Amino acid sequence: MPQTAIVILFLTSLALVTSLEPWFQSWQGNRSQTTDPLAVLLGDARRAFANHFFIKADAYFHSGYYPSIFDNRAAFQTPHMAADAGAVEEKNTGDEDDFLGPPKDWLEAFGRKFRPAAHTHLDQGGAHTHADGRSHHHHPAKEIELGESQDVREILPWLRASAALDPQKIETYTTTAYWLRQRMGKVAEAESFLRDGLNANPDSHEILFELGRIADENRKEPARARNLWELALVKWQKFEGQKPKPDTFSLLQIASHLALLAERESRWEECLHYLGIWKLASPQPGEIEKRIAEVRQKLTTATNPKTGTQKPKP
């Protein structure tokens, strides 16, 4: 009798396998379809970890002086390292120096002596800028030149981990690339990292824009920069322009860089075109209008009857 039961159970499981296996292989939630071990191991949870590591990098940017989920995070809604890099639009409000507020009890007051208690940024020297980091208000920060400190490299492991866990998190690439090239002089590494990001996100106008900045500011190749920014603008118009709340911050960055590049090269009509787009995206259109007037003036001078035609520089 037990032998018969075993045979029946074996045959039943065999029959189930033949019907379940093809379904499992075609099921979208099947993790074995991906070759990425992290995706197999963590599934969608890896995005939560990626976000955690991105925030962790910002906590490192502040040398550990960072609000927990139980503190007032109004001044840290946008990670400062990403805002400083121009990767995202800053939406922070409140006092970033004193998010802890006054201590609620003697234990909290005592405990603050054992934790970082002053707002600093790694790219400005971090904890070294404070004679006594835990009494910020009594010992003002020693001013150092921006870019003097390369300690900002300490945020990179967490950004790399964040990108590995969520390759679709675009600000990770743009933030990392900024700090790599701007503060550490690692232009090749920054470009390579952005290329990885572009492979994972071929329609990202943010990554194209950052690649353009490398071409313009580091490689000194304005023609390549213009091509990249123009492609970024096309991608923005194609994907962001259709949204009810488009990312105007990116549009502002792309248009302003294109306009400034055209101005540098005395391409006045092109400059006017991009200034028009810049004006649409800008929170201060009046300022851009003044600039448009200046460029129109230059255009008139360039096309006066004596010379006859506009002379753009190559």
Residues that bind another protein (CB under 8 A): 60, 63-64, 68, 70-71, 104-105, 107-108, 110-111, 113-116, 126-128, 130-134, 153-154, 156-158, 160, 180, 184, 186, 189, 193
Q: Which amino acid is at 300?
A: T
> Please, what is the minimum distance in Å from the beta carbon of residue 126 to another protein?
7
Q: Which is nearer to another protein, 177 or 262 (CB)?
A: 177
Q: How far is the CB of 132 from another protein (least distance, A)?
A: 6
Determine the Cα–Cα distance for residues 314 and 309; give it in Å rounded to an integer.
15
Q: What token pair was written down for 14?
A: 């065999």
Residue from 267, 213, 280 nearest 241 by CA: 280
Show the DSSP H helices in 92-155 as ranges. Answer: 106-111
- The half-sphere exposure of 143 on its side-chain side, counting CA atoms within 13 A, is 1
CB of 135 to another protein, least distance (A): 9
Please say which residue, 60 or 274, places its beta carbon nearer to another protein.
Answer: 60
Closer by beta carbon to another protein, 86 or else 126: 126
**The residue to which tokens 């006017």 are assigned:** 272
Give the list of residues 6+ apart from residue 284 with CB closer than 8 angstroms, or none: none
d(CA 191, CA 213): 10
Shortest distance in whole angstroms from residue 160 CB to another protein: 6
Tokens of 6: 């075993």
Residue among 161 and 258 whose Cβ is closer to another protein: 161
Query: Least distance in Å: CB of 153 to another protein?
Result: 5
Quote the least distance from Cβ 156 to another protein, whole Å: 5
Based on the number of CB atoms within 10 Å of its own CB, is 44 exposed (0-12), middle (13-18) or buried (19 or more)?
Answer: exposed
State in angstroms the smallest separation of the CB of 233 from another protein: 29
**Which CB atom, from 134 or from 224, has the smaller least distance to another protein?**
134
Distances (CA, A) of 14 to 6, 23, 30, 167: 12, 15, 21, 39
Each as own residue / partner, the long-range contacts of residues 93-97 (CB below 8 Å, 24 or more positions apart, any chain) are 97/136
91 in Cβ contact with 77 (< 8 Å):
yes
Residue number with CB closer to another protein (105 or 145): 105
Q: How far is the CB of 12 from another protein (least distance, A)?
A: 39
CA dihedral sign, ordered 289, 294, 297, 301: negative
253: closest CA among 243, 265, 261? Answer: 261
Task: Choose between 65 and 274: whose C-beta lies nearer to another protein.
Answer: 65
Nearer to another protein, 25 or 72 (CB): 72
Q: Are 272 and 296 in contact (CB under 8 A)?
A: yes
